[in-house]
Every structure is written in C-alpha cells, then in structure tokens.
Amino acid sequence: MTVTTRFAPSPTGHLHVGNIRAALHNWLWARKSGGRFLLRLDDTDQERSRPEYADAIRADLRWLGLDWDGEERQSGRFALYEERFEALKASGHVYPAYETSQELELRRKILLGRGLPPVYDRAALALTADQIAAYEAEGRRPHWRFRLDHDQPIVWTDLIRGEQRFDPRLLSDPVIRRADGSWLYMLPSVIDDSGMGVTHVLRGEDHVTNTAAQIQMFAALGAPLPHFAHEALLTGSEGKLSKRLGSLGVAHFREIGLEPMALVSMLARLGSSMAIEPFTDPQPLIDSFDFAHFGRAPARFDEGELAHLNQKIVHMLPYAAVADRLPAGMDAAAWDAIRPNLERVDQAGDWWRIVTGPVEAPAPAPEDGDFLHLASTILAELSFDADIWRRLTDRLKAETGRKGKALFLPLRRALTGLDHGPDMGQLLPLIGREEAVRRLSRA
C-alpha cells in the first residue's frame, strides 16, 4: 500500500494557521512513509471559489516548502459525482427532502426547547406521492440526504483519539446536495478520497462527526475505508479559541519577515508531546513525525513563542541561505558578525548601515575626549587585520589604565553610535581603518 494523504482546501479565501497545520501534518506523514501528498481544491462552491485564491494556496504551500505529487479540482469531477449519486439513489442510500431552511430551523428550535438533540426526524421518508407532487407544483425542489444505517453503531480506531463510537440514530442524515443541484462537502469528499487512493485522512477534531457519517458513505459506495486521525484544534495564547487564528495566514507571516521554517518547526509539533525546536531543514521533523505523539489536549498557538523560534532560526542560517535578501556589499563575514543581533533577516540592513555609515555618535563625556583622540592615533598606527579590536583595546588599556565599561563603551559609541550591538571584534574590520579613524577623530 502506498500511503497517500491529501490537503483539500476550498479556494474561497486565504489559508489560515489551522489550515497550514493540517497541510503540514499530511505532508510530513506522506514524506515519512515514502508516499504521496496530494492537493485537492474543493471548489464545488462555484460562486465563492476564485482562481486567485487557488493561486494563493499554491504559493503559500510553496513558500512553506510543501511540494505535492498531484493536484485535482472538484469542479472537474462533477460527472463522477453524478454517476456515484445515481448509484446511491438506485440502492436507496439517498433520498429527497422538501423542507425549506426555515422549516428545518423551526423544528430544530422546538427540539432544543424540549431538551432533545436537534436530529432530523426523516419526515421526508414518509411523504406520499400526492404530497411530493404538491411540493413540486408549488415550485419546490428537493435537497438530498444520505440515509444513515441505524442498525449498528459506527466504530473506528482513530490514530490520535483512539476508539470512536457513534450511535447513528443520534445523527441527522447529512444533506449531500442542495435543491439547486450543487454539492455539499460530504459526499464528493468521500468519492474523491476513494478515487484518488487516499489512505490516511488527517484533519481537525471538528470533523469527527462528519467522519462518522462518511464511514457509512464509503461502505455504501463499496470503497475501502482510509485511516482517520483527528487532531486537537488550535487555541490562542490566552487559552481559548481565538478568532484571530482564523485571520492569521501566510501573507501575515511573510509581511512580518518570518522565516517559513519557523512556522514549519512550530506547527509540526504543536499539540504533540515532542519539544518544539528550531530547524532549518524539515528532514528531522519528517523523521520524528508520529501520530502517537499527539494528544487530545488543545494545541496553544503563541505568536510570541513563534517570534522567539524565528530568532533562533535566523541565528542558525548560513550566509548562502540569506545572501539574496541582504543589502548590497554585505558578505559572509558581515553576516556572521551581524546575525547574532537579529530577530529577522530583514533587520540586517539596519546593522549594515552602522558599518557603511554615516553614523551619528552621541557627544562623548568630558573625560572621554582625550581617550578617543588617543584611540584614533593608535588605530592609525596599528596594522589593520582581523585581530585589530583586541590589539587596539589592549594598547589603550596599557596606556590609560582603563578597563571594562570605561574602556569599551566610549569606543563602541564613537564607532557605532550605539551602546550595544554586534561583537566589535567582528564589526571593526568591516568598518575599515579609514572610516574608523574618522569616526573616532570626529567624536
């Protein structure tokens, strides 16, 4: 068996962080298993689906490094759905229902008011031919429901949640087709998972009830049942479901200068028992991915933790990985010097301007004027090489008796205009002798 997973977003909007996590986990499992990861665009909603959203989904996945082995669009599979639907009609697994949405909502409120579960009562199955004719005469068109088998419980072993058991009598027969003929999610998804050879369906726990109904659809179609895994939904840092999570998409993370591997590193293990660590390559995450590591506790997404993880990854990135994003003239030595002070790669330009100048240094303290003049004189005399900072400060220490902050801080302020920053042993060679002497003399 070739392990096959799929990511099936609807191109009716942009991916949010929960979508990204689902896509990533499906990709990780496929890659670990040497299998296939498929992209399926669930675009049955023809009014809301847009080509630009489909393009954005593909671009987001590529930015994250998630490649796919095949792509399908549900809008190109309508003939297949029609064929399977007719077979289910012939076998009695689907039936027409004529209630309006207002009538269904009224029944639902009545049941809830009585303290009963709002389960559809299958009234449509009791309609007479005359009643159906009357509905048709007034212009009603039926929607279609899948008829659940009430004779035995629905049971499966979930790869994350363990054994799951549902009484089908407590579930409404799901609507699979609207009165206008358009498809809802449930049946086309089953037809596609079967036809595309999907072996593992990994999605959020909000789909557990859908899975119970879909298991019977697989059986009705005579299709093999995939393995199911339902992971806990994301919560915000405040510990409850956050509306903000629904608006956090790849565009947001790109705009704030986040490294894609920071998001991948965090989401790969979020909700699992494994430590979230910074990675610059996804292979360790692929190798360690295991459904057994995931539990049912809510997975907390913390943007502050993500920013900290991003900073660690930036500090790990080699020059070759960032060269095309750095300011002109900034070489590997400069990147090594500046990198430890960055939270994001796009901050490198701010530090590079400290090297290239001009620098506005604060006025020195009265007692530091002669010290800086001496420093400029000594620097002009010394041979200028990679060890220049140590030799300069050793000479100044010997001649002035200064040490610690009194020795180093006036020099840093004069050379960079700041009280802190990259290691001066690495920064001074980048500034160069002529510019450094000029800055010290000016101070």
Binding positions for ATP are 243
Bridge-based pairing of strands 36-41 and 4-7 is parallel
CA–CA separation, 120 and 365 (whole Å): 82
Residue 106 identity: L
On whether the CB atoms of residues 413 and 369 are closer than 8 A, the answer is no
How many other C-beta atoms can be found within 10 angstroms of the C-beta atom of residue 383? Answer: 8
Task: Determine which helix (DSSP H) or strand (DSSP E) holds 152, and give its type and residue range.
Answer: none
**Are the C-beta atoms of 232 and 299 separated by less than 8 Å?**
yes
Select from 179, 105, 185 the least CA-distant residue to 144. Answer: 179
DSSP helix/strand/coil, 177: strand
Sign of CA dihedral 243, 10, 200, 207: positive
Q: What is the DSSP string of 229-286?
A: EEEPPEE-TTSS--GGGGG-BHHHHHHTT--HHHHHHHHHHTTBSSPP---SSSHHHH
Q: Strands (DSSP E) along 328-397, which ranges?
A: none
Residue set of the binding site: 243
- DSSP one-letter code for 225: P
Q: How far apart are CA 67 and CA 297, in angstroms?
A: 29
Beta bridge partners of 272: 294
Task: Look up tokens 């750095």; give the residue.
Answer: 326
Specify the DSSP class assigned to residue 294: B
b (16+ CB within 10 A) / e for 386-404: eebbeebbebbeeeeebee
Report which of 359, 215, 349, 237 is spatially closest to residue 300, judged by C-alpha positions: 237
| Phi/psi at 32 (5° precision) | -65, -35
Structure-token match 């009695």, residue found: 92
Contacts of 434 (CB under 8 A, 6+ apart): none
